[in-house]
Amino acid sequence: MEQSQNVILQTVNLTKEFSSKSGSVQALKDINLSINSGDSFGIIGLSGAGKSTLIRCFNFLERPSSGKVFFQGRDLAALSEKELRQVRRKISMIFQNFNLLAQRTVLDNVIFPLEISGAEKDYSLARAKELLELVSMGDKLNAYPDQLSGGQRQRVAIARALANKPDVLLCDEATSALDPDTTEQILHLLKEIQHKLGITLVIITHQMDVVIKACDKVAVMENSRIVEEGKVKDVFVKPQSDIAKRLIMPHGELVKKIDSNRLIRLTFDGLAAGEPILANLILACRVPVSILQADSNTIDGVTYGQMLIRIPDDNISESRILAWLEENNINYKKERK
């Protein structure tokens, strides 16, 4: 199959079905996705969207029911078991629950995949120590996993995943078990490692904040399909799917609690994020507006914002406000209960 030289992972019409007592369950439906070498690629969706199944198809831990998976242009279904094992060394994974070996020290955990691949002992020891220094765990070589914090365990898991010099690092909800400060540290570490080693990051998450902080591109999943895909900043500012809008500003419960149908969600980017948009709107339209929720994020050094506002409960005021928003190129969506 023809493929761009820069594409490292690709799925073509990928479908995955599981059998159950009640019948067949389709976990993935016609997934077409291309990830370039060096990308920081996020795959986001709510629980049950199919994210984890998709990431496990990338290295054939789950074999597709139909469709194709390509790694560096090679059809994984056409590989022998030996060839597939070699490919899996180049597509490594880290997990939400770390999956460290409790009876092994930190150092021995990182050495373990090198033992399996048949590396020499001296090389394995030196490589493990080098990686533990890379993830700031060089002072914990002889500690055991149960002596470490969650963030420290994930650092060890990252070092272990890098042992065989992979080209792709798959991160399956790798920060979901961590507190916000530790999450930020781990995401920063992953980005540092990517820049130093030139690897491709694929991050599975249900949190838009994780995608914003760690990814350049994103695919949004719902009901086993990809419903939206693009650069993170484009999806953040102009989400096309309802699920993307919910993930970016999850105010569904807030909307339900408010006794009004005159709610508008605003998104704005770049210089507009620093402008007094609401003040200008009120002055221009001469109507009172209430801020119910607001948020901002920095993507590639540029601030992007979003806001949920309540407007007066009359058609004339609403028409005036919507006309002003359109005239000033402010992205908006009317929220309905």
- Tell me, what's the pLDDT at 237? 76
> Phi-psi bin for 239: left (phi > 0), alpha (psi -120 to 50), beta?
beta
Judge whether 277 lies within some domain: yes
Which of 217, 239, 261 terminates a domain? The answer is 239
Q: For 146-191, how does the pLDDT look when each residue is reduced to its tens digit (9 = 90+)?
A: 999 999 999 999 999 999 999 999 999 988 888 989 999 999 999 9
Judge whether 1 lies within some domain: no
Confidence of residue 1 (pLDDT cuts 50, 70, 90): very low
Q: For 277-289, how does the pLDDT look when each residue is reduced to its tens digit (9 = 90+)?
A: 888 888 998 888 8
> Phi-psi bin for 25: left (phi > 0), alpha (psi -120 to 50), beta?
beta
pLDDT at 225 over 90: yes
Q: What percent of the chain has pLDDT over 90?
A: 58
The length of the chain, given as a count of residues: 337
- Residue predicted with more confidence, 49 or 292: 49
Average pLDDT, the chain: 88
**Closest by Cα among 197, 140, 142 to 164:** 197
- Tell me, what's the pLDDT at 130? 96
Q: What is the DSSP pairing of strand 23-36 with strand 7-20?
A: antiparallel
Query: Do 148 and 275 belong together in one domain?
Result: no
Asked if residue 248 lies in contact with residue 230, where contact means CB atoms within 8 angstroms, the answer is no
Written as six digits, the tokens of 283 are 């002055």
Q: For 207-224, how does the pLDDT look when each residue is reduced to its tens digit (9 = 90+)?
A: 888 998 899 999 999 999
* φ, ψ at 63 (rounded to 5°): -90, 130
Judge whether 215 lies within some domain: yes
Query: Do 115 and 137 belong together in one domain?
Result: yes
Query: Do 306 and 228 belong together in one domain?
Result: no
Which of 209, 239, 269 terminates a domain? The answer is 239
- Tell me, what's the pLDDT at 5? 63
- CATH number of the domain enclosing 282: 3.30.70.260
- Residue predicted with more confidence, 38 or 272: 38
* Average confidence (pLDDT) over 309-322: 89
Judge whether 153 lies within some domain: yes
- Tell me, what's the pLDDT at 23? 80
* Average confidence (pLDDT) over 99-110: 95
User: What is the number of structural domains in the chain?
Assistant: 2
Query: Do 143 and 86 belong together in one domain?
Result: yes
- Tell me, what's the pLDDT at 307? 82
Query: Do 23 and 55 belong together in one domain?
Result: yes
- Tell me, what's the pLDDT at 137? 95
Q: How far apart are CA 1 and CA 297, in angstroms?
A: 39
List the alpha helices (DSSP H) in the chain: 51-58, 81-90, 106-116, 121-134, 150-161, 180-197, 208-214, 232-237, 242-248, 252-257, 277-285, 315-327
Look-up of token digits 């309802």: 242
pLDDT at 77 over 70: yes
pLDDT at 64 over 90: yes
Written as six digits, the tokens of 327 are 């005239």
Asked if residue 303 lies in contact with residue 279, where contact means CB atoms within 8 angstroms, the answer is no
Tell me the one-letter amino acid at 302. V
Query: Do 265 and 214 belong together in one domain?
Result: no
Domain containing 314: what range?
249-335
pLDDT at 256 over 60: no
